[in-house]
Structure 1
Amino acid sequence: MSSETYDIVIIGGGTSGLVLANRLSEDPDLQVIVLETGEDRSADPNTLTPGAWPLLSNSPADWTFHTAPQKDLARQITIPQGKALGGSSAINSFLFTPTSKATVEAWKSLGNEGWDYASYEEAMKKSFTLHKHSGATEGSGPLQLTLATPESHWEKAWIDGLKTVGLPESDPLSGNLGGPIIAPESIDPRTKQRSYATNAYLDPVRNRPNLAIRTETTVTKVLLEKASPTGDAVAKGVQFISKDGVSRTIGARKEVVISAGAINSPRVLELSGIGGADLLRRLGIDVVVDNPHVGENLQNHLFTGLVFEARDDVETIDAFFRQEPDAVALAMQNYGTKGTGPLSTSNMITMAQLPLPELHTEDGQKDLDRLLSLLDPDSDATRSPPTTPVFAAAHQAFVRSILTNSSEPVGNYVFGPAYAPFDAPSPTHRAPGKYVSIAIELSHPLSRGSAHITSAAPEHASTNEGLVIDPRYLSHPLDLEVLARQVRFTEDIISRSEPLTRYLKPYTKRFTDLEVTKDYIRRTADGAYHFTGTCSMMPRAMGGVVDNKLRVYGCANLRVCDASIVPLEPTANPQAVVYAVAELGAGFIKADVQ
């Protein structure tokens, strides 16, 4: 073992890893080190300028993973994941959307004591300071959030239009969702720049003498010994490749924490000998803990969307999205001088998390009964091996409870005043003219996939090679049925929601036929960047990888703390959830190591 030793070694300097670094190093007696594969890009203008975030995909700050071919979808799916100090909080789209109370309570119901909504909400609120449009603030956490009020005609039309069809505005931070919102963004209103794990949690404490940060450093395995009296493996340290290309080790006196994300955390576990024994032996890896659930239960939001033509006399941001020189110059001037315009925001804050009202009419109840018949856990169509029958039943019971509750959101909708290429010849296509677009996400997918290594070669650990990611989108038949009804519901809302309709050109409905809608989804659907579940927190017998304190089963002092531990997909963008998980995780670790 290396002579270089720390009390706590954190693998991954992403969102969770930097929250842990801040909170754990508050104790001056704890020596903490963070090892991050990516670079520190905190001085990069594209990282800091909110409206430049789309430029970060396929950049050096992105792992740029790809899924295995999806038999039920037409397109190749790319998976942006942050490969930089700050992780995905350094490249994402800023939306801070806490999940519903029902979702968090469902995590608890799987056997995770301590994960009630009150505890989750307390941890989440510890992470942020909310700046309201009035100038008032709420909270005192490191992350800076901006919450605007509806100002533009489009924002007001979206909120007011949904009200006219019986969907009143929601409080985005309440946990009680079911209507339109203006979403908070992780943007500091004082600097007009991205607020993320690096400048919020790390920068204020970088100079602590008991905290070390190393970038361009890739952990290739956790060094485990079967040495404890209980028979559990003990993490003695980690092996890593430093930026000079040399393999080295660092010792851990107390704990090793993996915070590498939903794709890379199971990868690190498997490279270290924790995973399905058959897979590990096939790759020549010594089996330390046989747990076939590592890398399983991968979940993500599938989405498609609709585009509607706006009237010629109404302003949109299409010219900016088409990168027309005059529009770009004006955007740069407005951002540079006033901190306003399309470069000052993600341009995605106008949202809604909505139920499906059609399921709660008399005819809808009959349709819902038929849909729920698809939830038979013994059906070949609904199995997702090696998911345990007890978890499959619990997952399906949760989705059933959402679909049958008229106040719980079934889908997440994101509205924007510009053309989005859902059904375009290519993802870079931008049509001439003026448009509004609505992205339509399935909030509670039942389709579950996996992420597993295909190689034990350490040189793959810093690349997007050496693993296979298979979300198995639409493998559960209920997902397509619900998403198709969401598409039809969206089209119906747009056709009758005043004052929204007054800003649009006449529109002829395309999706009255459900089968036509399903074909559209298969052709146009894509995956969001909201991966969870691959190191799920639940009892081991149910299919868990970590317990309710995030400790890896079969290991005495190894934890996972990031999006991978979330066992059931949140309702929308998971940024807020990850900060809450990390704040809770920091508390668990502090309680055990002090």
Structure 2
Amino acid sequence: MAPARIIDTPVVTNTYDYIVCGGGTAGCVIAGRLAETTTTRILLIEAGPDSKDLATMHMPGDWMGNFDNNKTDWNIVTEPMAGANGRRVKCSRGRFLGGSSGVNGTLCIRGTRQDYDDWGLEGWGGEDVFGYMKKAETFHPSARLKGAAGVHGTEGPLHVASHELAPISERVMESMVEKGLPLCEDMFSTGETAHGCGHVPRTIHRGVRTTAADFVTKGFKRENITIMTDVTVDKIVVESQGDGLRATAVDLVAENGTRSRVGASKEVIVSAGAYCSPAILLRSGIGAKDELEKLGIECVADLPGVGRNLMDHILTFQFYQVTEPGLTYDSQVFHDPQGLAKLRKQYGDTKSGFLSVFPFGAFCFARLDDRLEDCEAWKNAPRKPGRDPMGLAPNQPNIEMWNTELYGGPKQFDSYPIDGSHTFAMCTLLFNSNSRGSVRLASSDPLKNPLVDHNYLDHELDLQVLAEACRYSNEIVMEGVGTKNIVKGSWPPGLKHHTHKTREDWIPHVKNSATTCYHASGTCKMGKSDDPMAVLDEKLRVRGIDGLRVADASVMPIVNNGHTQMATYAIAEKAADLIKADAR
């Protein structure tokens, strides 16, 4: 999308009680919950379009369609990263109402309760966060996944249900169990299991993806919310009031370049995600003073932690061919030139078929202590009492693994099996990485994406642990009873990674295939008053500025050892309660 022309100086056009900057996962939840107080006036601002008629968002199996459209993807690409062989990695983010809840893998993997206890912040322990996850959802039990007692919600706008596994996933789960990962069906909801496999609830119900937009639309649409789409937040207006500073308004840029300013009588809440929330703060003069001055931005609050502490769960894909047709969905999607057209008609008629699911299958968490006993980096790394060298307690997993149900992955994986082959991938994800990245401004122009450097695999121990995880994942496929007799070889043909035996053999694969898991977080971290890098206090308030909070995945001091979707819903639910409490 070409940059718009920015013209004139804004004046206040309207005033609301609360302005929520970002209509993604967190922003929609916060706006919807604040609107439960019917006398409150809320403005929700989203840079992308309304998602009501966006078929690629509602149809789970066509998620990649969002990434082919410059209007619905932020199209953020990292800076070159030495640990990933100098590659740049695409970090797709949803740019429409509902945000990345409309493009993610639909997975409700909450992490462990210990993850949130480790934040060490009042009101943010495991019991608190899991309670807010429960509040957000309505869980629909099934014969496959009845749901663990007491952990699922029944009244939230987010509809959650189980996934019917493809045959390849049944085989992979059988191999996981045989290779030392006990079956615990709803383990990803309880937060109590660090080593085992199970079924993952998904944000799909009756073939339709449910997203954060459901908190402000459909049955939860309220007249006291004004939703602006196709409008970019430039900056927060901060003014002197009494002896301090206060956020009083927000400057906006429309698609045609027209500027405007809207006022906030109570609070401004920034919920634009781990990349865009720090960018908004930086453009507002909130960040490291020396860096802001280099861009010609006046510093109103010298907070050096803004844009630092960028975390993610680095991910690798390992592809395999299988000998039997019908185990994967490849024949439906890739082998028939009219396959996708047929699938779209089936979905349109009945909300069923491949496009009604997100094709991730069997999942597991794993501890790797025993497997890393001979690793020098592991043995020699410093560790705290009761923790491993990655900083994890025994009740927290080192890695996550799962399989795809056809060939698939980020857009750089484009060797499609159109020759009649049947394929799947094992996805291997690293928790609690030591490496940290950053988000910086390229310029003060709000229509330019920030500079993102995930700094993947900067730390040697991250590389060694992920290499061992890939080795374990490969053993599950090549040696497990459910899969060892159906694997024909790697995909594309000619790759030999499945024959590798040592951890060192896997390191080139890790460096070459490492990619984002879309779990960016931590760039506006909350922390205690003695933490110089904490941007926020325990109530999500920006330090030194009244009437301004941040609430999304950027606030996490440490990213959870799971997926960030449900954690972000919890952060938003708690943020709304904190805001309501302060208003009282």
TM (norm. structure 2) is 0.89
Query: Alpha-carbon deviation of 1:375?
Result: 4.5
Partner of 1:159: 173
Deviations 1:344-376 (A, max 9, x none): 1110142222222xx227xx4453x74153448
> For the residues of structure 2 that align with 1:202 and 1:375, how far apart are their CA atoms?
50
Q: Aligned to 1:297, what secondary structure does the other structure show? A: coil
Does 2:239 correspond to 1:225? yes
> For the residues of structure 1 that align with 2:432 and 2:140, how far apart are their CA atoms?
30
Q: State the one-letter code of the partner of 1:487.
A: C
Q: State the one-letter code of the partner of 2:205.
A: D
Q: Where does 1:441-480 land on structure 2 (aligned, <5 Å)? A: 441-457=429-445, 461-464=446-449, 467-480=450-463
Query: Alpha-carbon deviation of 1:169?
Result: 2.0
Checking the alignment, whether the CA contact within 8 Å between 2:29 and 2:215 is kept in structure 1 is no
Query: Alpha-carbon deviation of 1:295?
Result: 0.2
The alpha-carbon distance between structure 1 residues 327 and 182, as it changes in their structure 2 partners (threshold 3 A), is: farther
> For the residues of structure 2 that align with 1:548 and 1:169, how far apart are their CA atoms?
37
Q: Aligned to 1:124, what secondary structure does the other structure show? A: helix
Query: Alpha-carbon deviation of 1:400?
Result: 3.7
Q: Structure 1: which 5+ runs fail to align?
A: 377-392
Q: Aligned to 2:444, what secondary structure does the other structure show? A: coil
Does 2:484 correspond to 1:501? yes
The alpha-carbon distance between structure 1 residues 506 and 206, as it changes in their structure 2 partners (threshold 3 A), is: closer
The alpha-carbon distance between structure 1 residues 271 and 401, as it changes in their structure 2 partners (threshold 3 A), is: closer
Q: Where does 1:30-41 land on structure 2 (aligned, <5 Å)? A: 30-41=40-51
Does 2:378 correspond to 1:371? yes
> For the residues of structure 1 that align with 2:388 and 2:575, how far apart are their CA atoms?
25
Q: Aligned to 1:72, what secondary structure does the other structure show? A: helix
Checking the alignment, whether the CA contact within 8 Å between 2:478 and 2:487 is kept in structure 1 is no
Partner of 2:301: 289
Partner of 1:194: 209
Partner of 1:411: 399
Q: Where does 1:125-136 land on structure 2 (aligned, <5 Å)? A: 125-134=134-143
Q: State the one-letter code of the partner of 1:286.
A: E
Does 2:70 correspond to 1:54? no
The alpha-carbon distance between structure 1 residues 338 and 39, as it changes in their structure 2 partners (threshold 3 A), is: closer
Partner of 2:5: none
Does 2:159 correspond to 1:144? yes
Q: State which of 522, 525, 536 in structure 1 corresponds to 2:514.
A: 525
Checking the alignment, whether the CA contact within 8 Å between 2:268 and 2:548 is kept in structure 1 is yes
Q: Aligned to 2:84, what secondary structure does the other structure show? A: coil
Q: State the one-letter code of the partner of 1:194.
A: R
Q: State the one-letter code of the partner of 2:370.
A: H
Partner of 1:22: 32
TM (norm. structure 1) is 0.88
Higher share in helix = 1
Partner of 1:175: 191
Partner of 1:43: 53
Does 2:576 correspond to 1:593? no
The alpha-carbon distance between structure 1 residues 202 and 421, as it changes in their structure 2 partners (threshold 3 A), is: closer
Does 2:416 correspond to 1:430? yes
> For the residues of structure 2 that align with 1:193 and 1:506, how far apart are their CA atoms?
35
Query: Alpha-carbon deviation of 1:589?
Result: 0.6
The alpha-carbon distance between structure 1 residues 472 and 534, as it changes in their structure 2 partners (threshold 3 A), is: same
The alpha-carbon distance between structure 1 residues 351 and 201, as it changes in their structure 2 partners (threshold 3 A), is: farther
RMSD (Å), alpha carbons: 2.4
> For the residues of structure 2 that align with 1:225 and 1:21, how far apart are their CA atoms?
24
The answer to which of 86-95 and 554-563 deviates more is: 86-95
Checking the alignment, whether the CA contact within 8 Å between 2:318 and 2:425 is kept in structure 1 is yes
Checking the alignment, whether the CA contact within 8 Å between 1:307 and 1:420 is kept in structure 2 is no
Q: State which of 218, 221, 228 in structure 2 corresponds to 1:203.
A: 218
The alpha-carbon distance between structure 1 residues 39 and 336, as it changes in their structure 2 partners (threshold 3 A), is: closer
The alpha-carbon distance between structure 1 residues 350 and 71, as it changes in their structure 2 partners (threshold 3 A), is: same
Name the count of aligned residue pairs. 554
> For the residues of structure 2 that align with 1:442 and 1:255, how far apart are their CA atoms?
37
Deviations 1:95-119 (A, max 9, x none): 1211211211111x2xx11111111
Q: Aligned to 1:484, what secondary structure does the other structure show? A: helix
> For the residues of structure 1 that align with 2:153 and 2:440, how far apart are their CA atoms?
42
Query: Alpha-carbon deviation of 1:506?
Result: 6.9
Does 2:473 correspond to 1:490? yes
Q: Where does 1:369-408 land on structure 2 (aligned, <5 Å)? A: 370-371=377-378, 373-375=380-382, 400-402=390-392, 405=394, 407-408=395-396
> For the residues of structure 2 that align with 1:421 and 1:558, how far apart are their CA atoms?
38
> For the residues of structure 1 that align with 2:48 and 2:25, how far apart are their CA atoms?
13
Query: Alpha-carbon deviation of 1:62?
Result: 0.4
Q: Aligned to 1:56, what secondary structure does the other structure show? A: helix
Checking the alignment, whether the CA contact within 8 Å between 1:331 and 1:343 is kept in structure 2 is yes
> For the residues of structure 2 that align with 1:219 and 1:10, how far apart are their CA atoms?
10
> For the residues of structure 1 that align with 2:200 and 2:556, how far apart are their CA atoms?
22
Checking the alignment, whether the CA contact within 8 Å between 1:276 and 1:294 is kept in structure 2 is yes
Partner of 1:116: 125
> For the residues of structure 1 that align with 2:389 and 2:528, how far apart are their CA atoms?
20
Deviations 1:374-397 (A, max 9, x none): 448xxxxxxxxxxxxxxxx99x96
> For the residues of structure 2 that align with 1:523 and 1:243, how far apart are their CA atoms?
38
Query: Alpha-carbon deviation of 1:205?
Result: 3.4
Query: Alpha-carbon deviation of 1:533?
Result: 0.4
Checking the alignment, whether the CA contact within 8 Å between 1:37 and 1:462 is kept in structure 2 is no
> For the residues of structure 2 that align with 1:414 and 1:288, how far apart are their CA atoms?
46
Checking the alignment, whether the CA contact within 8 Å between 1:58 and 1:80 is kept in structure 2 is no
Deviations 1:412-455 (A, max 9, x none): 11202323479x9x522213311221011112211101001121
The alpha-carbon distance between structure 1 residues 324 and 76, as it changes in their structure 2 partners (threshold 3 A), is: farther
Deviations 1:486-529 (A, max 9, x none): 01111122222212323333788432132221111112211221
The answer to which of 436-445 and 577-586 deviates more is: 436-445
Partner of 2:4: none
The answer to which of 257-266 and 437-446 deviates more is: 437-446
The alpha-carbon distance between structure 1 residues 188 and 313, as it changes in their structure 2 partners (threshold 3 A), is: closer
Q: Structure 2: which 5+ runs fail to align?
A: 1-10, 147-151, 491-495
Q: State the one-letter code of the partner of 1:67.
A: T
Q: Aligned to 1:307, what secondary structure does the other structure show? A: strand
> For the residues of structure 2 that align with 1:308 and 1:27, how far apart are their CA atoms?
53
Q: State the one-letter code of the partner of 1:498.
A: V
Q: State the one-letter code of the partner of 2:226.
A: A
Q: Aligned to 1:218, what secondary structure does the other structure show? A: strand
Checking the alignment, whether the CA contact within 8 Å between 2:136 and 2:153 is kept in structure 1 is no
The answer to which of 249-258 and 153-162 deviates more is: 153-162
Partner of 2:337: 325
The alpha-carbon distance between structure 1 residues 567 and 318, as it changes in their structure 2 partners (threshold 3 A), is: same
